Structure formats: C-alpha cells, structure tokens
Amino acid sequence: MTSLATLLGDVVGSREAPDRRALHARLSEVVAQVNATTSPVQPVTVRTGDEVQGAWERRGQAAHAALLLRLGLLPEVETRYGLAHGEVTALSEDGSVQDGPGWWLARDAITLAKEGEAGAAREARIVRTRWREDSPAGLALDVALQHRDLLIAGLDDRSLRLLTGLLAGSSQQALAEAEDISPTAVSRRVHRDALDHLVRLSDELAGLP
C-alpha cells in the first residue's frame, strides 16, 4: 500500500450538455494541461460519464490540481471535486485498477459536495470541492478548500480570467493589456474580489506535504 493524495471530479449537469463531444474534448484538453503542470503520480484521466481521477504524492499538489481543473473549465463548464489522502492498493498488475481508503475517502468527499449543492438555496454560493481524511489536518484542509470555493463562486467571467492569469504568473499590466482595460481597473478587481488573497491561499495550499 502507498499513501497518496487522490482526486475524483465530475462535470455538473453533464447529461444536459448540448454538445457532449465538445465537452469531452475540452475536458481532455484541460486535463492534459493540469497533468503537465502538477506532476501527478497517477496522471489525471477522463473516465466514463465525464468523471476524472488522479493521484499525487502531496496533498498540496492535489488541491492545486483541483483548482486548475475547475478554473480551466469555467465559466462554460462547472465541475465538482472530492479529494482525500490515504492508502491506495493496486489490484491489477499494471496498477490501472486500484482500491483502498484513499479512493474511498475521495468518493465520500465528492458525495459531500453533491449533497451540499442539493441543499443549497437558489442564490447561495456553492462549495464544489471537499476533502476527506482521518486526521485534524484533513479537517483544516477541507475548511480551506470550502473557503476558496466560496470566494471563487462570487467571481464574474473577467475576474475568473484575471485569477487564472495571476496564478500562471502574469503581471497585472499584462492582464490589463489582454483585457483591454486599465491597470487601475485590474488592481481594483484584484482587491475587490480578493484575487490577491486567492493567489496567496493557492500558494500556501500548494506547498502542503
């Protein structure tokens, strides 16, 4: 057995997508980008029913991967994630079939996310990412991810693009030019929408062991 940080994700309302082929293509594109930047032990793969799964050595890598996946698909496609840390066992010789608490807890986490969505008020900000782990650290990480999601839920399309750019290391000046707005307008959005806080939070979470 090996302890890994695991991720399960799926597309919200995928059955209602007007073009499922285009959805799958977009999902595969974003998954490839995340695999190239987060160094997974088990690369993120697209499974049946627009579900994705992957695993990393560190919790911070998995938490960052979930953020990159979600932002890479927004605003057109909304996704939810269940993350966990626990033992994983390979059931097949090539390791493609696995079992163990790491995956069971991730499944529990995505179920929590779905249940939270179902119980949310119509205009409420919705948490799309949950973490399950049998430790105090796991509880703290779950709270941090819920906080991150609630901030993201309040962003409009432009602020989502700015956040994605800031996470990729772009300067506010470069983002202003890309958006064809003034650097002052970018700065206002960064502070108004707590984009600077989200970047710091993302950096801190990404460094977790």
pLDDT digits (tens, 9 = 90+) for 113-144: 999 998 888 889 999 999 999 888 899 999 99
**Residue range 11-30: average pLDDT?**
89
Whether residue 9 is contained in a domain is answered as yes
Residue-wise pLDDT tens digits, 58-90: 999 999 999 999 999 999 999 999 999 999 987
Q: Is pLDDT larger for residue 50 or for residue 7? A: 7
Q: How many structural domains are present in the chain?
A: 1
Give the separation between CA 1 and CA 183, rounded to whole angstroms. 51
The model carries a pTM of 0.95
Residue 2 to residue 15: CA distance in whole angstroms: 35
Q: Which residue has the higher pLDDT, 107 or 119?
A: 107
Residue 197 lies in a domain: no
**Statement: residue 57 has pLDDT above 90:** yes
Q: Is the pLDDT of residue 95 over 60?
A: no
Q: Give the pLDDT band of residue 93 (cuts 50, 70, 90).
A: low
Q: What's the CATH number where 60 sits? A: 3.30.70.1230
Residues making up the chain, counted from first to last: 209
Residue 135, in any domain of the structure: no
Computed from CA positions of residues 20, 80, 155, 117, in that sequence, does the dihedral angle turn out positive or negative? Answer: positive
With respect to residue 205, please indicate whether it lies within any of the assigned structural domains: no
Distance, in Å, from the CA atom of 132 to the CA atom of 17, rounded to the nearest integer, reads 29
Q: Say how many CA atoms lie within 13 Å of 83 toward its Cβ.
A: 30
In this structure, are residues 131 and 8 in contact, taking their beta carbons and an 8 Å threshold?
A: no
Query: What pLDDT shows up at residue 18?
Result: 81
Q: Phi-psi category of 148—alpha, beta or left, where left has phi over 0 and alpha has psi -120 to 50?
A: alpha
Evaluate if residue 197 carries a pLDDT over 70. Answer: yes
Quick check: is 126 in a domain? yes
Looking at the DSSP bridge assignments, the partners of residue 85 are 5
* Predicted pLDDT at 91: 67
Q: In whole numbers, what is the pLDDT of the chain averaged over residues?
A: 94
Give the integer Cα–Cα distance in Å for 108 and 165: 32
39 is in which domain, residue-wise? 2-130
Does residue 173 lie in a domain region? no
Averaged over 144-171, what is the pLDDT?
Answer: 98
